Amino acid sequence: MLPVRDSLRVRSPLPSARVALAKRLIPLALDRVPTRIHSASGPPLQRVELESDAPQIDVIRPERLTRRMAHHPKIGIGEGYMVGDWREAPGTDLADALVPFAASMDTILPKWLTRLRRLIDRPMPRSMRNSIEQSRHNIEAHYDLSNEMFALFLDESMTYSSALFLPQQPRTADTLLEAQQRKIDAALDRARVTEGTSLLEIGTGWGALAIRAAQRGAKVTSITLSREQAALAEERAQRLGVAEQIEIRLQDYRDVEGQYDAIVSIEMIEAVGAEYWATYFATIDERLAFGGTAVVQAILMNDEHMRRTRSSYGWIQKHIFPGGLIPSLPAIERTLDDATTLRMTEMSAFGQSYADTLRIWRDTFDARVDEVRALGWNEEMIRAWRFYLAYSEAGFRTGYLDVAQLRFERPAEAVRRADGG
């Protein structure tokens, strides 16, 4: 889905008071961030002097960027990068330039100004809410961009989630496949998937986990809403000789029936939406056989940050993941208590591995950008994905974001009650 240029135009006219307020607040915020801001024209956007070796951002069109920020701060920054209103300076890596912003999320504005959040935040359009009908459209908007595009920057397993690197292990494209397989094996081990296990996978991706589970002797039912992913996953399973052990369905998780010894869902919860977290975990609870184990790999954020962002609409929802929201660990635990008989029995976090994974993806994407263009991508979309990958990397590098594998089981007393004990 390529962006429509009209959607990136600076909205005009804007109330002059809103623009004037933005002109006052932007330098106030930038003075608190240790990234140098060089403005090509007009008054400086930053008033403090920083060391010359600090990462630098060049603002090419400060007036247009200010108007974007005045219209919608959470969207204006990313769209400004997409259209070239600002860029990383020569010699500065984009993620390095964004790290200080991610690290300053709680301090970038004075406390008294955070009270204006309700005037800045805008709710996600109701058209993006993850109903059964809309979820398919939201998933297609991202995952059906084309299998060929994803193959340009992913490893050969076509795994589009965090790898799991070992301490001191090289973080390179050559080691990414091994680290991805380690992540998959860790999830399958936590879910106790062995020969004869009936496994439900919620979110097929391109089939890497389903294929690995089938190679262990499991019988896999894997569901997805992406036709592109389903087609390639089926083709890969056939090619590797495990197609008879894998059933891939174009199906919403809410429509699944039956029970399974194990359930695994890798970075799918981020697409569920807070409104449907209870339904998602209740479905896992209902589909998991007694004595079974579920594993969810989830991107996580601090609970306070999640509460502040759960009702707002930002650049990532508009341009990358429609309807998406990253949960917090406490939010997941509250949902389990309210909607299920499940309890979390293990958590293994590896956020820095995600930062490394994203850096490898971005480096590979940049190295093959001419091939991306050959697929019909325009420069705005290319810059959107470069910003998305760097923006996400900065979040994991600073700990603003984390990723973890969570294991869920029923307490022994719940199992005994179900068995009549």
pLDDT digits (tens, 9 = 90+) for 242-252: 999 999 999 99
Query: What mean pLDDT is predicted for residues 214-226?
Result: 97
In the block, tokens 């299920």 appear at: 340
Number of neighbours of residue 31 by Cβ within 10 angstroms: 14
Name the pLDDT band for 1 (thresholds 50, 70, 90).
very low
Sequence spans of domains, the chain = 5-120, 127-418
- CATH number of this structure's domain 127-418: 3.40.50.150
The residue ranking higher by pLDDT, 127 or 22, is 22
Task: Please work out, in degrees rounded to the nearest 5, the angle formed at the alpha carbon of residue 183 by the alpha carbons of 182 and 186.
Answer: 85
CA–CA distances in Å: residue 338 to residues 265, 278, 279, 298, 313: 20, 8, 11, 19, 26
pLDDT of 385 over the 50 cut: yes
Q: What is the pLDDT of residue 65?
A: 92
Q: For residues 247 and 323, what is the distance between their CA atoms, to the nearest angstrom?
A: 27
Pairing of the two strands 343-349 and 401-409: antiparallel
CB 152 within 8 A of CB 173: no
Q: Pick from 383, 359, 405, 360: which is nearest to 99 by CA?
A: 359
CA–CA distances in Å: residue 56 to residues 51, 66, 306, 372: 10, 18, 29, 27
DSSP element (H, E) containing 102: helix 94-103
- Could you write out the DSSP letters of every residue in 255-272? G--S-EEEEEEES-GGGT
pLDDT of 217 over the 90 cut: yes
Helix ranges (H only) for 240-350 are 277-287, 303-309, 315-319, 329-339
What is the length of the chain?
A: 421
Q: Pick from 183, 119, 165, 139: which is nearest to 320 by CA?
A: 139
- Mention every residue, 6+ apart, whose C-beta is less than 8 A from residue 310: 274, 325
Q: What is the pLDDT of residue 312?
A: 77
Q: Pick from 363, 347, 301, 348: which is nearest to 171 by CA?
A: 363
Cα Rg of the chain, angstroms: 22
Q: Pick from 202, 299, 328: which is nearest to 254 by CA?
A: 202
pLDDT digits (tens, 9 = 90+) for 288-309: 999 999 999 999 999 998 988 7
pLDDT, mean over the chain: 88
